[in-house]
Chain A
Amino acid sequence: MDGIHDLGGMAGFGAIDVEADEPTFHEGWESKAFRLNIAAIGLLGAYNADEYRHAIERMAPAHYLQSSYYDRVLTAVATLLVEKGVLSLADLERRAKGKLRLALPARDNAADGIVPPDAPRFAVGDWVRVRDIHPHGHTRVPRYVRGRRGVVVHVAPLFSFPDASAHGLPVRKESTYHVEFAATELWPDDERRGESVIVDLWQTYLEEGE
């Protein structure tokens, strides 16, 4: 989905604030949110990591930007456990003594209609172009590379296609490719030389780039 999470290249953001000797967690509930998510995925098997990422992406844009990282984790955990019927929202709100703002419901994903590739198609040195797709469901192809041409610099192993697994569809594995895009290809009106971005892309996102 073309959501707020897909931040790469977006303008309007200010300085990056680096905290010296930053601890892993700043407050006790942050660690609890992290542990709940690991336990819900690994021990309960209530959802998978792609469903988790998608739940964060489904937060309304203002909610997403107002929430700290571990607050987003917590929102995804609560949303998925309620959606999966593990917990009830009314019970959580009673226990928390206040309302819970959950992520918005998932929309259908186009991944059902996509035929999985049967073999790796590209090799290092191949030019590829990113398909200009805009699924309503989960996808890991960032907006800023769609329609752009780049060169394969590395072929990674087969991994589960997230557009399918985030929507409860059967796991289908395919190659991912590290594709290098010149900054001038991504932002042609910027006069930047000697800069590139490498994006790790599933085969389904790519077509031949000649």
Chain B
Amino acid sequence: MDRVFHALADATRRDIVRRVLDGEHSISDLARHYPMSMTAVQKHVGVLEGAGLVVKRRQGREQRVVGRVEALRRAEALLAEYERLWRERFDRMGDVLMTEMEGNGR
């Protein structure tokens, strides 16, 4: 999970993930979308692969990149849970304040 968050902490890598979740892409397809060398894109894909977010597979002379939905879902779920924890706390704070204003509180 550590590597997942690191992998997602970069805008280019998040964009790559977004694209490959929509469908398989070759590295050269992906490289067209970013102002960087193919090698640089390959490195980003390598980081994503190391984090288990994408897998590469060879098709003829081309390397295709595929997104792994489950790994992403897990990272997202952890952060979403933390957000939910605080949303609920803030809602309860609102309830405490409201109960008091209605005069049936403490």
Tell whether A and B belong to one assembly: no
Task: Give B contacts to A, CB under 8 Å.
Answer: none
